[in-house]
């Protein structure tokens, strides 16, 4: 499952300030998909269903925060949904049987099975969810001690006829309706298992990601509230008005020679701002947004900063 982490997102652009969040998101998603692939035992056409909780959680976080903190959209082609899910139940009556091997065929022309799936029996009743992306024709089962015959998949699944190996093993299988699961484009046998993360590390990384997203959300919200506040609007308007005021009251710089005669003094006087222009300048200082700002200043302790340093 080696790939550039940015391939986990749909092509697009985002603010540079959010690149760290995008990278954290991509890293967590990459590790989750790697872990899921390791759990998909089988072949691309038939494999065991991987654990879903962590991917569901990260998708939920992405949908919650994508628009509010501008996260890149996920590339959902990397974890396509499937509704072709079957639950395989293995009922063991002989405690000596520790392992079963389920063989699948998806062609009547092939002598050898397309998949040989070992199943370790940790209890008398074992349940396995499998994803089937092909037309299965037959299956058979063998164990440590016993072997069974081939059975038509339609008889086994459609007609709900159990598969028996004498009185030692019984298998049943049925489709799982009204349920879908996420899959990964690969199976565990294609992976170097040394690179597969532990489930505990995934859950820890998810918790840390959620904390970072919440901190970024608080920071973004505070920034938006600051920009929308009356004092910010007032200062912005004052900045614009001050440029106009400086233009209105501008005059030529004094030079000692300008005051050498009454005529020069009169000319200088005529260049000074007129009373109507001064009134315009004073009017520009009347900014309505300032009236909504409380003159009382209250100091508070910031015990809940947006970002913990």
| pLDDT tens-digit map of 263-302 | 767 776 676 666 676 677 667 666 565 565 555 556 566 6
> For residue 278, which phi and psi values (nearest 5 degrees)?
-65, -35
Q: Please give the pLDDT value at position 251.
A: 64
Q: Helices 19-39 and 53-69: crossing angle, nearest 10°?
A: 160
Q: How many residues does the chain have?
A: 309
Residue 256 zone, left/alpha/beta (φ > 0; ψ -120 to 50; rest): alpha
Over residues 67-125, the pLDDT tens digits come to 888 888 888 889 999 999 999 999 999 888 899 999 999 998 889 999 999 999 988 99
Q: Average pLDDT over the chain, rounded to whole?
A: 83
- Range with lowest mean pLDDT among 54-58, 120-124, 127-131: 120-124
Q: Residues 6 or more apart from 117 whose CB is under 8 A from it?
A: 41, 42, 46, 48, 101, 102, 103, 104
Nearest partner of 238 among 280, 284, 283, judged by Cα: 284
* d(C-alpha 105, C-alpha 268), whole Å: 104
- pTM over 0.75? The answer is no
Nearest partner of 145 among 113, 116, 121, judged by Cα: 121
- SS3 at position 187: coil
């Amino acid at each position: 499952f080696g790939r550039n982490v940015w391939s986990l997102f749909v092509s697009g652009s985002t603010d540079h300030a959010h690149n760290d969040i995008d990278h954290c998101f991509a890293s967590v998603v990459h590790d989750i998909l790697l872990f899921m692939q390791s759990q998909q035992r089988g072949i691309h056409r038939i494999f065991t269903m991987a654990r879903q909780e962590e991917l569901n959680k990260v998708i939920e976080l992405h949908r919650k925060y994508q628009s509010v903190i501008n996260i890149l959209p996920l590339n959902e082609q990397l974890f396509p949904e499937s509704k072709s899910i079957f639950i395989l139940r293995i009922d063991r009556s002989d405690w000596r049987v520790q392992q079963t091997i389920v063989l699948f065929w998806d062609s009547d022309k092939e002598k050898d099975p397309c998949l040989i799936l070992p199943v370790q029996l940790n209890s008398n009743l074992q349940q396995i969810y499998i994803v089937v992306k092909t037309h299965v024709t037959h299956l058979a089962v063998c164990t440590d001690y016993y072997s069974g015959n081939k059975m038509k998949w339609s008889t086994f699944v459609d007609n709900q006829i159990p598969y028996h190996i004498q009185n030692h093993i019984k298998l049943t299988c049925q489709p799982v309706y009204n349920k879908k699961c996420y899959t990964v484009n690969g199976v565990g046998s294609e992976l170097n298992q040394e690179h597969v993360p532990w489930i505990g590390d995934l859950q820890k990384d998810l918790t840390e990601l959620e904390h970072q997203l919440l901190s970024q959300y608080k920071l973004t919200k505070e920034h938006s509230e600051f920009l929308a506040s009356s004092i910010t609007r007032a200062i912005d308007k004052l900045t614009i008005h001050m440029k106009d005021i400086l233009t209105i009251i501008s005059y030529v710089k004094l030079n000692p020679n300008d005051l050498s005669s009454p005529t020069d003094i009169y000319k200088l006087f005529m260049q000074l701002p007129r009373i109507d222009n001064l009134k315009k300048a004073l009017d520009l200082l009347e900014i309505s947004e300032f009236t909504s700002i409380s003159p009382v200043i209250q100091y508070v302790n910031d015990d809940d900063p947006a970002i913990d340093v």
